[in-house]
Amino acid sequence: MKWNRIVVKLGGTIILLFLVVLLPVGFVTNQIFSGFYFNKVQENLDQLSSRYADFLASTQNPAAVKMMAEFSQVLVYVVDVDGQIIVDPGIESLSKGTHVPNEELEALSKGSAIKKEYKDSFTGIRYLVSGKPIKNSNLFYGGVYVLSSMEGIGQSVQKVQDLLILSGIGAFFIAVGFTFVISRKLSNPLIQMEQATRKIAKGDLETRVDVVSKDEIGSLAYAINDLAVDLQRYRDTRSEFFANISHELRTPMTYMEGYAKVVKEGLYQTEEERNQYLDIIYQESARLTHLIHDLFELSKMEEGKFSFNLEWIDLSEVIEQVTLKAGLKAKEKGLEISVDLQKDLPMIYADGLRMEQVFLNLIENAIRYSEKGTVFVQMKRSNSSEILINVEDTGIGIPQTELPYIFDRFYRVEKSRSRDFGGTGLGLAIVNRLVELQGGTIEVSSQVGHGTCFVLRFPLISKEEP
């Protein structure tokens, strides 16, 4: 048996607690019963001695008392006014003619009762004794004593003690069985969880734990299952990430390598053709630099190492600057940028440059995926606690099945036309993280063939809060 197993530890703890409770309870129960039994015996002796004393006070017939005692199998002895035993109980040390101690005689003469334990000097047997005075009309005639063997009392108490011990042993074994069942019931799910986590650690992320209860163990099982799901999602995402990054890096590198070889080996007809190849190499190197920069920024955001220069900024100014920068690209495609900014909006606490990056990315995306129409930018105060910004286009739109994934890294809706539209596939992932890290939210809705709308919300806080 492995002594460090939880079933042993848990079982041992429960049994120890059971013993800690059982032993004091057994001891107290034994003491209470012993005291109660002794008190009942003493009470019976007092009643008997009082009856015999009353009988002798009225009859003055000690012989009759002796006959009654023998008939009732009760040990009785009677002393006269001088303290001499005139009726003996059949105990050698209390034979006829023996005198009781003077202090007892004096106490009896004053009407006091005698309660004591007496030990026979010949046999060593101990007795519980109750003595009462014999008085009639205030005249003292002696006293009567009733005895009960302590051995008989001890035997009765011992039987009860034996019964208590047997009951305790029985309760102990029942507790052991109960503890074993409970320990196994509690430890089996934990053992299953241990086995499941070891499988998960070895890469078997399909492993799941059975949830058999709704208590803390059930919550732990749910947590392990959720961990397995998250790890599986992480592994799939990581594999997809490496595949995507490999593809995104390999494509420009292939272009650069091919056209550089053409230029190096002079495989062109005219100087114009040579410049065209060099231009392609430059564009692909710029695209590669942009991709690496975006990856670096996104990595820092996800690791929590991204720093912001937070200050009070006017979002209206930020959006106006962005639309001014993006206006040339819109004009080249024959698009119009429509801006509707509510006046006198309060400033927000954010990083101005990063906010410009967010809106420039969204507006350039709207221009990139729109062939005609207008890009709408609207900002207003939705309620007393937040500002709402809509960036809407009349472009190709996004299918509903694709919407949950557009903030994922390298995700593109038009995969077959990705190079025609350009971009690294990281822009919306960066936008999503920048918005979240500055306390905002971003949502998207779209309809294929009609356009896409991004809704951003940023909280309004008082200037004392930061």
Pick 19 or 437 by higher pLDDT: 437
Q: Which pLDDT score, from 0 to 100, does residue 74 have?
A: 86
Q: Which pLDDT score, from 0 to 100, does residue 379 have?
A: 93
Give residue-wise pLDDT tens across range 158-180: 787 788 788 878 887 887 777 77
Give residue-wise pLDDT tens across range 192-243: 888 888 888 888 888 888 877 777 778 888 888 888 888 887 777 777 667 7
Q: Are residues 285 and 408 in the same domain?
A: no
Q: Are residues 408 and 435 in the same domain?
A: yes
Give residue-wise pLDDT tens across range 179-192: 777 777 777 787 78
The yes-or-no verdict on residue 418 having pLDDT over 50 is: no
The yes-or-no verdict on residue 142 having pLDDT over 80 is: yes
Q: Are residues 360 and 449 in the same domain?
A: yes
Q: Which CATH number goes with the domain that contains 37?
A: 3.30.450.20
The yes-or-no verdict on residue 398 having pLDDT over 80 is: yes
Q: Are residues 78 and 131 in the same domain?
A: yes
What is the band of 340 on the pLDDT scale with cuts at 50, 70, 90? very high
Q: Which pLDDT score, from 0 to 100, does residue 174 have?
A: 82
Q: Are residues 270 and 393 in the same domain?
A: no
Pick 344 or 251 by higher pLDDT: 344
Is the CB of residue 425 less than 8 Å from the CB of residue 410?
Answer: yes
What is the band of 419 on the pLDDT scale with cuts at 50, 70, 90? very low
DSSP one-letter string for 131-163: EEEEEETTEEEEEEEEEEEHHHHHHHHHHHHHH
Cα separation, 369 vs 392, in Å, equals 11
The yes-or-no verdict on residue 455 having pLDDT over 90 is: yes
DSSP for residue 157: H
Number of domains in the chain: 3
Q: Which pLDDT score, from 0 to 100, does residue 314 have?
A: 92
The yes-or-no verdict on residue 453 having pLDDT over 90 is: yes
Pick 323 or 178 by higher pLDDT: 323
Question: What's the average model confidence in pLDDT over 257-286?
Answer: 85
Partners of 457 in the beta sheet?
Answer: 388, 441
Amino acid of residue 254:
T
Q: Which CATH number goes with the domain that contains 280?
A: 1.10.287.130
Asked, for residue 272, whether it belongs to a domain, the answer is yes
* Token pair of 428 as six digits: 């919306």
Q: Which pLDDT score, from 0 to 100, does residue 335 have?
A: 92
Kindly give the residue spans of alpha helices, DSSP state H, lying in 303-351.
315-332
Give residue-wise pLDDT tens across range 70-114: 888 888 999 998 989 888 888 888 888 888 889 988 898 888 999
Give the global pTM.
0.49
What is the band of 300 on the pLDDT scale with cuts at 50, 70, 90? confident
Q: How many Cα atoms within 13 Å fall on the side-chain side of residue 454?
A: 24
Q: Which pLDDT score, from 0 to 100, does residue 232 have?
A: 83
The yes-or-no verdict on residue 291 having pLDDT over 70 is: yes
Q: Which pLDDT score, from 0 to 100, does residue 463 have?
A: 64
* Token pair of 343 as six digits: 């006046």
Q: Which pLDDT score, from 0 to 100, does residue 445 have?
A: 93
Q: Which pLDDT score, from 0 to 100, does residue 1 have?
A: 47
The yes-or-no verdict on residue 16 having pLDDT over 70 is: yes
Say how many C-beta atoms besides its own lie within 10 A of residue 298's C-beta: 20
Q: Are residues 274 and 342 in the same domain?
A: no
The yes-or-no verdict on residue 7 having pLDDT over 80 is: no
Final residue belonging to a domain, choices 302, 332, 358: 302
Asked, for residue 200, whether it belongs to a domain, the answer is no
Q: Which pLDDT score, from 0 to 100, does residue 212 have?
A: 75
Q: Are residues 235 and 323 in the same domain?
A: no
Q: Identify the three-state secondary structure at position 459.
A: strand
Question: What's the average model confidence in pLDDT over 437-458?
Answer: 92
Q: Are residues 350 and 448 in the same domain?
A: yes
Q: Which pLDDT score, from 0 to 100, does residue 414 have?
A: 57
What is the band of 296 on the pLDDT scale with cuts at 50, 70, 90? confident
Asked, for residue 364, whether it belongs to a domain, the answer is yes
Q: Which CATH number goes with the domain that contains 377?
A: 3.30.565.10
Asked, for residue 116, whether it belongs to a domain, the answer is yes
Final residue belonging to a domain, choices 255, 274, 302: 302
Q: Kindly state the percentage of the chain with pLDDT values over 70.
A: 92
Asked, for residue 464, whether it belongs to a domain, the answer is no
Structural domain including 229 reads 216-302
Cα separation, 144 vs 47, in Å, equals 12
Question: What's the average model confidence in pLDDT over 33-47?
Answer: 83
Q: Which pLDDT score, from 0 to 100, does residue 441 have?
A: 94
Asked, for residue 335, whether it belongs to a domain, the answer is yes
Q: Are residues 455 and 342 in the same domain?
A: yes
Q: Are residues 145 and 110 in the same domain?
A: yes
Pick 456 or 238 by higher pLDDT: 456
Cα separation, 321 vs 356, in Å, equals 8
The yes-or-no verdict on residue 422 having pLDDT over 60 is: no
Pick 244 or 319 by higher pLDDT: 319
Any residues with CB less than 8 A from the CB of 62 and at least 6 apart, and which?
56, 78, 86, 87
